[in-house]
Structure formats: structure tokens, C-alpha cells
Structure 1
């Protein structure tokens, strides 16, 4: 998870970008922070999906095969 300080800085740079614009250095920082945020988000979402099980109303496991394969692969490691 991204720190509160980094999230606050992303929001600060976004607001400044809309109001007055960013310097080259600030634009590079914003790009770096956004990339870090997206990487963290994607990893978190991936972990969530890999640890879920989908059950239909009849109680049957209908988890997609791709997720089952990922779970099986992780058990081997």
C-alpha cells in the first residue's frame, strides 16, 4: 500500500496541475508517483483475485479456471 504522504503528494500535484501547471521536475515526480500507485494497485488487485473463490447460488464452486490454475501454481512454490 502506498503511504499517506505519497497519496497526499499525488493529489497535491494533480490539483496544482489543474490550477497553475507543473514544472518539469514536478511533472516527472507526478509520473513516477502515479506509476508507483498503479503498480501497488495492480498487485493488490491481483492478490485479491488470486485468493477468491466464486460460489454460485446453488453452492457450486464456479471459480474461473485461470484463477484455479494460479492458486495451484502458488501451492507448488
Structure 2
């Protein structure tokens, strides 16, 4: 899957290494990086909601905070 902002982040990074960025480009770069980090955080949260932790006896020992988050998202299993 291609993340659109990643192409521009990489382009700005190459420009920065090649000779520098204008103030406007630095601000754009910072904004795009925050947007990208938000995307990554969302992906990690989605992945974590699908995790259940089991002990060696097969008992569900998922941390309460994660279990509550899963329940809030509609996963009642």
C-alpha cells in the first residue's frame, strides 16, 4: 500500500540533503511527518486491538486497558 505523503516526505528529505529547504518547505515537512506518524499510530492501534494475550494454560491474560479498548471498539470476544 502506498502512503501518498511518504513520497513528498522523501522528496523534501532529498532536497534538504541536496542544498536545504525554504522555511515553507520545512513547515510542510514537519506537517507531513506529523500526518505520517498519525497514520502509523493508527495502524499500530488497530493491530493491537486484534491481540489477545494468553498464558501457558490458555487463560486470557490480556491487559485490562487493552481489553477495555477492544470492548469499546465492538470486539466483545
Q: TM-score, normalised by structure 2?
A: 0.78
Alignment size in residue pairs: 75
RMSD between aligned residues: 2.1
Aligned counterparts, 1:1-77, within 5 A: 3=3, 5-75=4-74
Contact 1:2 1:37 in 2 (8 A): no
Q: CA deviation at 1:15?
A: 2.1
Unmatched tracts of structure 1, length 5 or more: none
List structure 1 runs of 4+ shifted beyond 6 angstroms. Answer: none
Greater relative contact order, per chain length (Cα 8 Å cut-off, separation 6+) = 1
